[in-house]
Amino acid sequence: MTELLYPTTFPRWRPEAEREAVMAGSEAMLRRAIEALELLLGTAGAAGTGSGPLQAAKHADLLESLHFNMAVLEEKFAQDPQWEELRRLRAEVSRQAQWLASSPDVPWSFTCHALLLLLCLKQCMGLLAAAFCPPQPNPKMAEAAPPLSPDTLSIAQEKIIQAALQFVVTLGLCPYLLPGVGLPLGNRTEFSDLVQEVVSPGCLSSATRKLYATCSVLMEVARHPSLGSLILTRHLGDLMAGLCQLGFCPARRKGKDVKLQEELMGLTEEERSSCRGALRGLLDRVYQPLVVRELLLLQGGSKQASRSGVRDPEHGLAPAPAWLRRLCGQLLSERLIRLGGVQAVVRGILEGAGAGAAGGSSAEAAAADWRKCDVVARILSSCPQQSLSLEDYCRQVCPQVLQLFLIQDKLTACQFQRVATTTVLTMARQHPQQAEKHLLRPMLDPLLRCSEDDVAELLLEDPPAGTVLVKEEELSGCVESVFKVYVVGNEPLAVLLDSLQPVLGTIFSLWCFTKQNVSFLRSPCQEILLWFLEKRERQTALSILEGLARLGGATHSLHPLCQFQAGSEGGAVVTVRAAVGDEDEALFQKVSSEQWQLEQLVELLSHCQSSGLAGDFFLCCLKELTHVAGQGGSRVESVPLSSSKSPLDLEQGCSPHIERQERRLQVLQLMAMLCQSVSDTLFTDITQVVEFVAATLQRACASLACSSGGTVEAQTLSMAMGLVAAVLGGAVQLKPADFAALKGLVPLLEDVSHIHPEPVVQELAADLRITICTHGAFSTETVCSAAHSTLGKSDAKGAVRARPGMSQDSTERSPGEAPGTKAALPQNHTESSSAADRVSTVPRGRLSAENSAAEPGSGSGDLQELLLSVYDPDIPARAAALRRLSRLIEQRDQEALKIQEKLLKVFLENLEHEDPFVYLSAIQGDMVFLHRDNLIHAFLRGVRDPDSTLRASSLSNLGELCQMLHFQLGSVLHEVTWCLTTVVKTDHQAEVRRAAVHVVVLLLRGLSTRAVEVLRDALLDLYRLLKSVVRCELDEVTVLHAQLALEELDSIMRELLFPRQTLEKKIEVLP
């Protein structure tokens, strides 16, 4: 653009007196320029308030007001001698800027007057800044603020200049913009709407020249820092719109030469080129997020709005021309791929929604606007047309995307990390190869540097012990980023799973390390491991678990010469391990570390029980044990001492056997730990039970084939066959699909029946095979006896040999289970453990009566026997009778319905029984879990009732419900806590506050030591609530309830922190 050059420097060699004189004259001229703007605007005393006379003028009145103000200004210049200097300066500026000459067009003439005064003002401020020589700082007053520059504007002066700029933009820039370029005047203020009706753009060439003159002067004035900040903070979008139109609006038309086009457009190609250069310089100068936001606004409404002729209802934007949309897209792409461009784009889009400093108090509302974050992620994951290639674009943008995870600002971290997570996932879906190369591997780099493959090259340099390989901030940032992308993103894409698998061993080692210390990395590491094991294919997950257990498998573990050390910020660092000179000490450390990691692996598997992974891994270990057992005997072929073989040859000959024994011991140790820790809920379905039995039978057959069967093998085989008999005898409810799984045991049972030396075992195996093949339609007395023996029954006379309806009502026929089968039977097919233990002790006669009562079509004699059993002093017998009576009522049994009043009395009497096994059998407490949500909703609604008695009653019921739910309370824990806190702090009735505090008492009493695990982070809120009640509550009863709750909490914490010491010995077989 054409530059207006004025002397803005002052020679430093002039005398001080002359310098001060020039500064005094410049200050006076600056004040005169401000006064001139004030006269021109006609808003003296009310500048910038929007209440001047021009705001209320209409049409002709507006033109008359503008003309009158210009006349007043010219009269002031002509009559006041103190304004002579300013008049001469204005005349000089006007000669240099010939396009700002006066015009019969009143709005444009007014704009020219304002632009000339702004140029004069900029000249005066430049002279003041050039002549200013700051004094030397006084060391005795170092805390004193430095003197202000003489060109600093006051608040009142800034208001006047802002008003002048508003008039310039409204009268001299916006009316000459093409439709769809920039924000229309009609969508701004009432005065802008009035200007749109008054100002006539005229012909295209005239409008373009006027637009060019306004933009040129504004760009020149913006060179001064103070004036530039006033222009660019308020009118950046309008200035960018004008420059875009001047420099990029298509000017060529078919059939017309270049010279004719220039005459029609009013600009030469050189002037258009200068406008393009000025636009790019402006974009590079301004705060980039602001540039991004203005470019998005310049793009206008959507294409659908363009086709339908309507405006964007959200922003009131007219559809932008196609050339402007393409230009803004190109400029946005350039902003994106430059250094720091990703953050600029993200901030530019999100700051308007409340993120960052520009968002202010609406930052929390913007954090919930996930749609906008997804839009930004789609923009970042799409390669623009301006990029050379997708590879080049990813190389420039992906490192900046990873930097979004490391932002620490609390206002913006939530949104930025959400954008980064969504971008990584979108890239992984659309471009998996580039995502793995430019996003996932750099993200996992700190963990990859710890693996055995990657650290080997570094250790060749022989670094000293303690050398830091991975810093704490790198490792912490890596783990947190992986947690956000993989776990929080929760998209099990193949590229994500494949990229995470090589570092899973390092993450597991880090998790084991955090279990020995206090670290915030413990929870994310555990969640990452559980997520991978859940989302990966089952066979791959089992292979990973084998690797973590050091049984082989596809797992890259931490390098032996690397170790984790606690970091100063609660994280961890990776350092070079110091060498241990003593071989015994090194072996002890190795064995201890492997033992600790094995224990943690078992704990990790305890969190995978619902998915069945723990049971599958146990079966995998069992099959491995069978494989080892089938490889040969336990003795080594003896080598004669006179043999010519060397000791090395002897050692090599024994190595395979030693390795097999070592692996067998490792598997045995792992299986023992699994049985000890997660035996009660190890298997989750019949299929796993069948696989367990099949593996046991295979191992027994292998042992028999090798003639190595011993006492352990015999007991294992007996247990497995007894388990099959129990399953077929009614311990679980079998379905047709279960029999399909059981058929896999038929060949194994046939082998056992042929090769086992004991006739009893052969007969049982043959009978089990027959029962499976007939789907339980025929069962021999041998199978029934084995089933009853396994389930803890002492005789089998009540067993039914032909039971065609076993799969429909087999659960009722087996009211208990022996402790020996508790670990093997699936969790979802069994009764509660307490019920099973109690019923297993029922006498023989009671069981026979119960079995006969369980059959459909019970007669009156059976019903009378059940009524007698209700008053039996034996607790299990009474509970079993109550449960059977409740089933008869539910099945609408005719005999039971005839005496339903008597049965109701029986149930009510047993509600008062002190044993929970009895009164729960009378009321079926399991219905609480089924209707938990409805009950909680009803009680919480009752807390808001106007009647205080009903509120107190609802809280009391809520306390009893929470006491019963125990671990099922987790999902509604925060709602209940918030309700109690609100009632205690806001309710005016003392009885309601008492009930609220009493709920806490019941909750703590019901949970006991499990309160810490169930309540978790809500426990601190409850503690603070109770303390505030003790300090501030006036009602003595409420205070007493709070003190009781605090005592309960104190006893719980004491029992956890100082458990009772028990003397026990534990013998483990180390590999």
According to the 3-state scheme, what is the secondary structure of 384-413? CCCCCCHHHHHHHHHHHHHHHHHCCCHHHH
Q: How far is 50 from 224, CA to CA, in rounded Å? A: 26
Percent of the chain with pLDDT over 90: 13
User: What is the residue whose two structure tokens read 């040859």?
Assistant: 649
Which of the 8 DSSP states describes residue 609?
T
11-15, 314-318, 899-903: least confident range: 11-15
Chain centre to alpha carbon of residue 54: 55
The pair phi, psi for residue 469, each rounded to 5°, is: -95, -40
Confidence of residue 262 (pLDDT cuts 50, 70, 90): low
Helix H segments across 642-729?
647-678, 686-705, 711-726
Residues of 154-167 as b/e, b for ≥16 C-beta within 10 angstroms?
A: eeebbbbbbbbbbb
pLDDT value of position 507: 93
Best CA proximity match to 113, nearest among 69, 52, 162: 69
How many CB atoms within 10 Å of residue 384? 15
68-82, 278-292, 451-465, 561-575: least confident range: 451-465
Mean of pLDDT values over 844-857: 35
Confidence of residue 1014 (pLDDT cuts 50, 70, 90): confident
Q: How far is 102 from 113, CA to CA, in rounded Å? A: 8
Query: Are 532 and 444 in contact, with CB atoms under 8 Å apart?
Result: no
Q: What is the DSSP string of 421-477?
A: HHHHHHHHHH-HHHHIIIIIHHHHHHHHTTBHHHHHHHHTT-PPTT-EEE-HHHHHH
665-679, 847-861, 976-990: least confident range: 847-861
> Which CA distances in Å does 587 have to 583, 594, 597, 662?
6, 11, 15, 15
pLDDT value of position 973: 76
Q: What is the pLDDT of residues 593-631, one digit of tens each?
A: 888 888 888 888 888 877 888 888 888 887 777 666 555
Chain centre to alpha carbon of residue 94: 62
> Which CA distances in Å does 454 have to 177, 475, 549, 573, 779?
61, 16, 22, 17, 61
Helix H segments across 60-138?
60-79, 84-96, 106-131
776-782: long-range pairs with CB below 8 Å, 24+ = 776/728, 776/734, 776/739, 776/803, 776/806, 776/807, 777/802, 777/803, 777/804, 778/802, 779/728, 779/729, 779/803
53-57, 391-395, 701-705, 987-991: least confident range: 53-57
pLDDT value of position 951: 86
pLDDT value of position 833: 32
Query: Are 158 and 230 in contact, with CB atoms under 8 Å apart?
Result: yes
Whether 936 has a pLDDT exceeding 60, the answer reads: yes
Q: How far is 1044 from 1034, CA to CA, in rounded Å? A: 16
Whether 52 has a pLDDT exceeding 50, the answer reads: no
Identity (one letter) of the amino acid at 886? S
How many CB atoms within 10 Å of residue 537? 10
pLDDT value of position 152: 85
> Which CA distances in Å does 507 have to 530, 555, 602, 661?
11, 11, 16, 30
State the chain's mean pLDDT as an integer: 76
Confidence of residue 54 (pLDDT cuts 50, 70, 90): very low
Mean of pLDDT values over 789-803: 42
pLDDT top residue among 242 and 906: 242
Best CA proximity match to 28, nearest among 116, 158, 130, 127: 127
Q: How far is 595 from 589, CA to CA, in rounded Å? A: 10
Confidence of residue 66 (pLDDT cuts 50, 70, 90): confident
pLDDT value of position 523: 93
Which of the 8 DSSP states describes residue 1017?
T
Q: How far is 862 from 849, CA to CA, in rounded Å? A: 8
Q: What is the pLDDT of residues 185-201, one digit of tens each?
A: 777 777 777 777 777 76
For residue 565, the surrounding DSSP H or E stretch is strand 562-566
pLDDT value of position 1070: 62
pLDDT value of position 645: 54
For residue 638, the surrounding DSSP H or E stretch is none
> Which CA distances in Å does 290 have to 230, 256, 763, 1053?
14, 39, 86, 54
pLDDT value of position 975: 81
Whether 527 has a pLDDT exceeding 90, the answer reads: yes
- pTM of the entire predicted model: 0.64
Best CA proximity match to 422, nearest among 369, 348, 364: 369
> Which CA distances in Å does 682 have to 84, 551, 610, 670, 671?
99, 20, 9, 14, 11
Best CA proximity match to 547, nearest among 587, 502, 592, 493: 502
Burial of 28: CB neighbours in 10 Å, binned 0-12, 13-18, 19+ = middle
